[in-house]
Amino acid sequence: MILVCVCVYFAEIFLNEHCHIHFFSEVFSSPLYTADRQTQTKQPERSGSRQEATVCFRMATAVVTAPVVAARGQVDLVECIDWQSVECLNEKSTHTFVNALKQGYREDNGLHLESDADEQLLLYIPFNQVVKLHSLIIKGPPDEGPRTLKLFANRQSMGFSNVNDFPINDAVTVSLEHLEGKPVPLKYVKFQNVRSLTVFIEDNQGSSDCTQVQKLAIIGSTVETTNMSELKKINNEN
């Protein structure tokens, strides 16, 4: 209820300042939003300021409700991922990491990454340049969504048999709030010069043998350095 009031408040300010009209008197009294209670049909539209009110209302709503993707100074590092080298162990062949990591796929609620033999997943995500990691955005269903994550920086050739032999950079417990899009903060000082991130999903929210990840976004910043993909090309040419 408080959130609705805040949204209405800012919408009122937006309309008054930018459209020079009043929120309640011009929008909700508009025939566009007034239905005939007896026939349950909308009244005909009118031209002029009331149509302007409708457009401004939609603009104001979009401004107020737009989600915050990353903290100030941080960005989605999806463009920094070296896609050809990404690996995911124990993924189901029909529900691969692409569904959770790539733009366009991860925004589709009908797609997801899913584990195969049991609830565990092991994701190796290399970057094409050195980055700093700030947080993760991870979405999933309330029962099959991930719960315990162990994160490793700059570790290669990890498998389920030796994943617990390496010291972790961070371990996080994902809550139901996180699964709805709240960012999962990381120990920033532990992820300052990262060339790859390994994500070990140890279990899920329930007791299911199936873990599902609808979205995994890595939030951070780039370090001004040589692009790793370009460096590989130069070395191969020489």
Residue-wise pLDDT tens digits, 133-185: 999 999 999 999 999 999 999 999 899 999 999 999 999 999 999 999 999 99
84 and 11 share one domain: no
Which has more confidence, 67 or 130? Answer: 130
Any domain includes 216: yes
Residue 8 lies in a domain: yes
- Residues 118, 180, single domain; the answer is yes
Last residue of a domain, one of 47, 65, 83: 65
Instruction: Report the number of secondary-structure helices (H) and strands (E) in the chain.
Output: 6, 10
Helix (H) or strand (E) holding 171: strand 170-173
Mean pLDDT of the region 194-214: 97
Lowest mean pLDDT among 13-17, 31-35, 47-51: 31-35
- pLDDT number for residue 24: 39
- In sequence order, the β-bridge partners of residue 133 are 220
Instruction: State both tokens at 177.
Output: 């709030």
Is the domain of 38 the same as that of 93?
no
Contact 100, 214 (CB under 8 A): yes
Instruction: Assess whether 146 and 222 both reside in one domain.
Output: yes
Verify that 39 and 109 share a domain, yes or no.
Answer: no
For residue 43, what are the domain limits? 2-65
**CA-CA-CA-CA dihedral for 37, 40, 46, 51, to nearest 10:** 100
Question: What letter would DSSP give residue 81?
Answer: B
How many structural domains is the chain composed of? 2
Give 50 or 119, the one with higher predicted confidence: 119
Is residue 233 predicted with pLDDT exceeding 70?
A: no
Place of tokens 């733009």: 103
Is the pLDDT at 42 greater than 90? The verdict is no
| Residue 224 or residue 235, greater confidence | 224
- pLDDT at position 37: 33
Q: Are 178 and 67 in contact (CB under 8 A)?
A: no
- Whether the predicted pLDDT of 35 surpasses 70: no
pLDDT at 73: 86
List, for residues 84-111, the tens digit of each pLDDT value.
999 999 999 999 999 999 999 999 999 9
5-31 tens-digit pLDDT: 445 455 544 444 444 444 434 333 433
Mean pLDDT over residues 175-203, rounded? Answer: 97
pLDDT of the residue at 40: 36
Supply φ then ψ for residue 201, to 5 degrees: -90, 105
119, 182: one domain: yes
pLDDT at 132 over 90: yes
Q: Which residues pair with 131 in a beta bridge?
A: 194, 222
Does residue 134 fall inside a structural domain?
yes
| 139 within a domain of the structure (yes/no) | yes
The residue from 65, 88, 117 where one domain ends is 65
Count of CB atoms within 10 A of residue 85's CB? Answer: 15
Based on its alpha-carbon atoms, the radius of gyration of the chain, rounded to whole angstroms, reads 23
pLDDT for 224 equals 76
Residues 99 and 19 in one domain: no
Which among 38, 65, 92 is the end of a domain? 65
Q: Is residue 238 part of a domain?
A: no
pTM: 0.67
Q: Do 97 and 60 sit in the same domain of this protein? A: no
Q: Are residues 113 and 180 in the same domain?
A: yes
